[in-house]
Structure 1
Amino acid sequence: MSTSIAHKKRRLRSDYIYHQTHRTRWFDNDMYAHLNNTVYAMLFDSIINTYLITHCGMDPFTHNNPTLTTPDPSSSSSTSSSTPSKFKSNQVGIMVSSYCDYFSSVSFPDILDLGLRVTKLGNSSVTYEVGVFKEGEDEVKVVGGYTHVFVARETMRPTREGMEVGVRRGLERLLVSDDTAVGGGGGKGAKL
C-alpha cells in the first residue's frame, strides 16, 4: 500500500472542512448490495459543485443573464467568511483527472456524510479530495476527488491571469496545509 493510500485510509471526519449529508437510495445499490461505483462520482460532483455555487460564485443558472453584474471580488461586500459569495464567476471548471480509493463499502439505506477539502491550489487549477463516511462513524469508507482547471467560458481555455480572485478566495478556505495530516483537521480554513 503506498504512503498516500495509507494516509487516505486513516482519514477522519475532522480532516475535512466542508460537509454535506447524502441519503442513499435503493437505486444506488448494485447487484452486490453496495453502492455502485458510478454513484461515488455523482457524490463527489454534488459536494464540489454545491461548494463552488454557494462559496465561489460559480452559478450555472444565471451566468448567461445580462442583467446581472459581477461585483469586484476585492470589495468587502463580495465575500465574507460567514456568508456565501456574492461574486459571480465568468469562468467554468473543466475536470482533467479523477480518482477514487475504496476502503469499505456502504449501501442503501445508509446516510452518508461527505467531507470536502482542497489538497492543491495552482494558478488555474484545483485538486479536491472528498471523504465518504457513514453517519455516526468517523472512519472513512471512500476517498476520491478530481482536478478542475478553470477556463474562460467563451474560449474554454485557461486565461493568462489564471483563476478568478473570487473563486480562489472560496477555494483557499478549503486548502489543507498538509494533505497527509490525519485526525487534526489539517486545514487552514475554518469549518464551514
Structure 2
Amino acid sequence: MSESQGLKQLRRSDFGYFLSYRTRWSDNDQYSHINNSIYYHLFDSVVNTYLIEHCGQNPQTSPFIGLVVSSWCQFFAPLSFPEVLDLGLRVTKLGISSVAYEIGVFREKEEHPSAVGGYTHVFVESGSRKSAPMRKEMKDGLEKVFTAKAKL
C-alpha cells in the first residue's frame, strides 16, 4: 500500500485530539472548494490550540517558539462552504527539540479524512532562534497525542 493510500485509510480513532471548524464563504476558491492555502491555516489552528490548551504554550510570553521547517498535505475529497470540519491531531515523531504533527481533516461525522497533512516544528529560543530542548510541560502534553506512525 502506498503512503497516500495509507493516509486515506486513517480513521478518527487514529487521532487523539479534535478541534471543530465551521467553514466560511471566504474559504472557497473560484472552483467552489476550500482553497489549498486554507488547509495550512487549519493545521496551524489545531496545533497551536493544542499547544496552548495542553502544553502550557503562551505565544505572547513564552521564551521558546516553534518554527515550521517542513509541511505537506494530501487531498482525497473536496470540501467547501458550508461544512463543519473536525480537525484531528496526532504526533508522529517526538524529538528533543522537534515534533512532527499529522492532521486529519474530516467532514463532520465521516470516519475517513478528506485530507491529511502536517508539519514539523523545531523549538528555538525566541530571541536567539537557537534550537532548544522542549520544556517538560510541552513534551508531556505532546506525548498524550503521540502515536508511532503506522507502517504504510
- TM superposition shift of 1:181: 6.8
Partner of 1:176: 147
Paired with 1:124 and 1:97, the residues of 2 have a C-alpha distance of: 15
Partner of 2:22: 23
Match of 2:105, SS state, is strand
Paired with 2:116 and 2:40, the residues of 1 have a C-alpha distance of: 11
Partner of 1:108: 81
Paired with 2:29 and 2:87, the residues of 1 have a C-alpha distance of: 20
Partner of 1:48: 47
Paired with 2:56 and 2:63, the residues of 1 have a C-alpha distance of: 9
Structure 1, gaps ≥5 residues long: 64-88, 183-192
Name the aligned partner's letter for residue 135 of structure 2: E
Superposition misfits of 4+ residues, deviation over 4 angstroms: none
Name the count of aligned residue pairs. 152
Partner of 1:129: 102
Partner of 2:115: 142
Match of 1:41, SS state, is helix
Partner of 1:164: 135
Structure 1 residue aligned with 2:124, among 127, 151, 155? 151
- TM superposition shift of 1:3: 2.5
Paired with 1:21 and 1:116, the residues of 2 have a C-alpha distance of: 11
Query: Structure 1's 181 and 12: CA in aligned 2 closer, same or farther, altered over 3 A?
Result: farther
Structure 2, gaps ≥5 residues long: none
CA RMSD of aligned residues (A): 1.4
Q: Of Structure 1 and Structure 2, which has the larger fraction of its residues in strand? A: 2
Q: Of Structure 1 and Structure 2, which has the larger fraction of its residues in helix? A: 2
Match of 1:155, SS state, is coil
* Structure index of larger Rg: 1
Identity percentage of aligned residues: 49
Match of 1:129, SS state, is strand
TM-score (norm 2): 0.95
Paired with 2:142 and 2:24, the residues of 1 have a C-alpha distance of: 30
Match of 2:102, SS state, is strand
Paired with 1:52 and 1:133, the residues of 2 have a C-alpha distance of: 21
